[in-house]
Chains A and B, each alone.
Chain A
Amino acid sequence: MKSTALSLSVLAALALGSASAQTTVKIATLSPLSGGQSDLGTQIRNGAQLAVNEYRAEFQRLGMNLQLVAYDDQADPATGTAQARKIAADRSILAVVGTLNSGVAIPSSQALVSSRVAMVSPANTANQVTDRGLSNMNRIVARDDAQGPAGANFLADNLKAKRVYLLNDKTAYGEGLAKEVEKALRAKGVQVVGNEGTEEKSDFSSIIAKIRLQRPDAIYFGGIYNQVGVFIKQLREAGITTPVMGGDGLDSAELATIAGKGATNIYFTTVAAPIDALPAAKTFAANFQKTFNDQAQGFAAFGYDAAKVVLQGILAAYKANGNKVPSRQQVETAIRKGTFTGLLSGTVSFNSVGDRKSATLYVMNVQNGKYSLSARLPVRPARQ
């Protein structure tokens, strides 16, 4: 026994010795690890960790010691920017997976662009994240402005609506979304029988009376769950069972609570897929459970995918650099130009500004208070 232990320790020493001769290559995650959104941020970090574990051996063979460093942005733009500066200062970090919040991604990517550190976002949907045209900012989820046309397509094709009643909450989000839906509906020849904004949070009786009069096939409400939930509750109490659709503003478990018994026949689009919406995610979820003793959610899968994009990008840059450890700029270019496969959410490639060329929006359905996946809609950014 003793001799075995000795030989093992010699082996370990040898392994360590060879490891120290390698170049250390790091990727970073930037997500909230403390505060109210730490749950989601930790999912992103852990998803990325699984990808790193998967690729460690391959990197080792190529003489690279791969490590993941997790930075906490506290879901706060100022903290995120400060962390981004720290990332920029650590020359061994080649690229970043992050962030959760668009509001953090925008200044953080700005802080990283001059040192050419590529970012791959698993979660940011705001149009502005990529519309600024930064060379380092990419995302693997759909853009906010994809929701309008996707919602309209779902109304016309899946719900077969010929007459749609549009409502919005008179905010930039809700009104903008309803406008996009209206445009796409008219283009598809669907009749818009009503279109109005309301700030009302309690009494929807006049709107419901009009809906009863107009008999639409479906209702689209660009708004947030706490207003739309009350509306749906009153609509159902008035005996109207017409399907109600909305955007990701409805993506909350509270929606069903507020609508109560009326929480049925509701649809909404969202970029954050539930984990079981991803066909390949079963093994991943089991692996995640085993490694972190925690249930994987959608953001873990997207964290994993984003990290894989980064790692495959580094490998591609390594090859392009004559099998030498690539520079940050080479990695940035490889990520923007490459095609990445073997991901949970399908193949990824980016357009000229870093939007995913073919992203997916998920349509969730609420029936009797239960949420389930109803459809997957492919969406493409206007620029290809």
Chain B
Amino acid sequence: MDLATLLPFLVNVIAGGLVLGFVYAIIALGYTMVYGVLQLINFAHSEVFVTGAVVGFEVFRVLTPSPMNGYLKLLIALLAAMVISGLLNVTIERLAYRPLRNAPRLVPLITAIGVSLILQDVLRLIEGFQGRFDLTYTLPDGFSGKFCGAESSCAAVGSTLARLGLDLQLKDVILIVVALLSLAVLNYLVNRTRLGKAIRAVAQDRVTAGLMGIDSNRMISATFLIGGALGGISGVLFGMKFGTVNAYSGFDPGIIAFTAAVLGGIGSIPGAVLGGLALGVIQNLIGVTNIFGGLLGIANLEAIDASYQRIGAFIVLVLILIFKPTGLLGKSNVEKV
């Protein structure tokens, strides 16, 4: 194998990692925002994410026979998932976390795990009533096809990308665009609006923010709403990209996205995005290490294949936390007396 074949291969692997990374990033935002305001790890977020995926599945399923434009179907799926996942997250906070606001930190943490388990089985029950377990997305025509394939008007772009090894499907491009748009909107919301300012104030110091006339409970609800809506978006994107979800699909991406949030510095929004992208790429690169081992003649590297993907991502996390305990972009909390 020479460079001419390996370069496109590597580009392909990194691109796949970035696409995956965007999904992780959007999920990670849900963890990091909630952590930012409450210092609570919302383990139920993985189920909020799966709820979005299930809603997306249902929307596409119901709309399959309709001649409606595919992008419109996607928009409906995204909006429905945002609303339902967002409201679900708000409800979880209201019912399960708010009553424990002043309890020791471990109590809401265990509650979160409990909520996560309950939601998994509720989702399984709802779909099980209709005789379904594995939910396979029925996407509009063309979504799974090549991006700028041979017959399309932008075939020249497609062939240039293909030469570089970027063998993208239309849905990969849609995923990246939707993810970037969500990030832009979130950035505007958090940094440019009164609501965002209030949320940041509550995150900094709940008591003082309250003294300044900010209703911290409403801001916390708003945070859960935004985080949940992002979970809904990521669920639809995940289902669209990978095709099949079930009630238990949230665990794996959830734990990795949480890791991404920690890697980026939990509580930091750019950190979550960076962490998600980094983990996606690292995972995929570790998954193909054995190819390079064979090339460089290093026998030990040849043993590192896809089965080490997960473990590799967590090793990177441990290493970063050893040398930079606050994560890549996290700020350390300096206690002022």
Residues of A within 8 A of B (CB): 170, 194-203, 205-207, 209-210, 212-213, 226, 229-230, 233-234, 237-239, 254, 257-258, 260-261
Which A residues touch B134, using CB under 8 A?
226, 229, 254, 257-258
Within 8 A of A (CB), among B160-206: 167, 169
Chain B 138-180 near chain A by CB (<8 Å), digits 1 or 0:
1000001010000000000000000000010100000000000
Least Cβ–Cβ distance between B169 and chain A, in angstroms: 6
Let me know if B306 and A196 touch, CB within 8 A. yes
23 cross-chain CB contacts under 8 A:
A170-B307, A196-B305, A198-B309, A199-B307, A199-B310, A205-B13, A205-B17, A205-B19, A205-B20, A205-B284, A206-B306, A206-B309, A213-B9, A213-B291, A226-B244, A226-B246, A229-B134, A229-B244, A230-B242, A233-B243, A238-B167, A239-B167, A260-B243
- Tell me the smallest distance from the CB of A36 to a CB of chain B, in Å: 13
Name B220-248 residues within 8 Å CB distance of A.
238, 241-244, 246
Q: Are A209 and B306 in contact (CB under 8 A)?
A: no
A170 to B305, CA, bound (A): 13
Smallest Cβ distance from B241 to chain A, in angstroms?
Answer: 8
User: How many Å lie between the Cα of A228 and that of B249 in the bound state?
Assistant: 15
The interface size of chain B toward A, counting residues with CB under 8 Å, comes to: 37
Smallest CB–CB gap between B261 and chain A, Å? 19
B-chain residues with CB within 8 Å of residue A261 when the two chains form the complex: 144
Contact flag A202-B242 (CB < 8 Å), given A209-B9, A258-B136: yes
Q: How far is the CA of A234 from the CA of B20 in the complex (A)?
A: 14
Bound complex: CA A201 to CA B309 (Å): 13
Report if B5 contacts A (CB, 8 A): yes
CB within 8 Å of A: which B274-303 residues: 283-285, 287-288, 290-291
Tell me whether B309 and A210 are in contact (CB under 8 A).
no
- B314 vs chain A, min Cβ distance (A): 13
Question: What secondary structure prevails in chain B residues at the interface with A?
Answer: helix
Q: How far is the CB of A236 from chain B (nearest CB, A)?
A: 9
- Dominant secondary structure at the A interface: helix
A213 to B5 alpha-carbon distance, docked (Å): 8
Closest A residue, CB atoms, query B248: A201
- In chain B, positions 41-96 with a C-beta closer than 8 Å to chain A are none
Taking a contact as CB atoms under 8 Å apart, the answer to whether B307 and A202 are in contact is no
Bound-state CA distance A206–B9 (Å) is: 10
* Cα of A270 to Cα of B307 in the assembled complex, Å: 27
Q: Closest approach, in angstroms, between the C-beta of A102 and any C-beta of chain B?
A: 23
B20 surroundings in chain A (CB, below 8 A): 203, 205
Query: Once bound together, how far apart are the Cα atoms of A201 and B287, in whole Å?
Result: 14
For B1-29 the 0/1 string (1 means CB < 8 A from A) is: 10001000100110011011000000000
Which residues of B have CB within 8 Å of A198? 306-307, 309
Given A205-B16, A213-B1, 10 other A-B residues pairs in contact with their CB atoms under 8 A: A194-B305, A202-B253, A206-B13, A210-B291, A213-B291, A226-B244, A229-B244, A233-B243, A237-B169, A260-B136
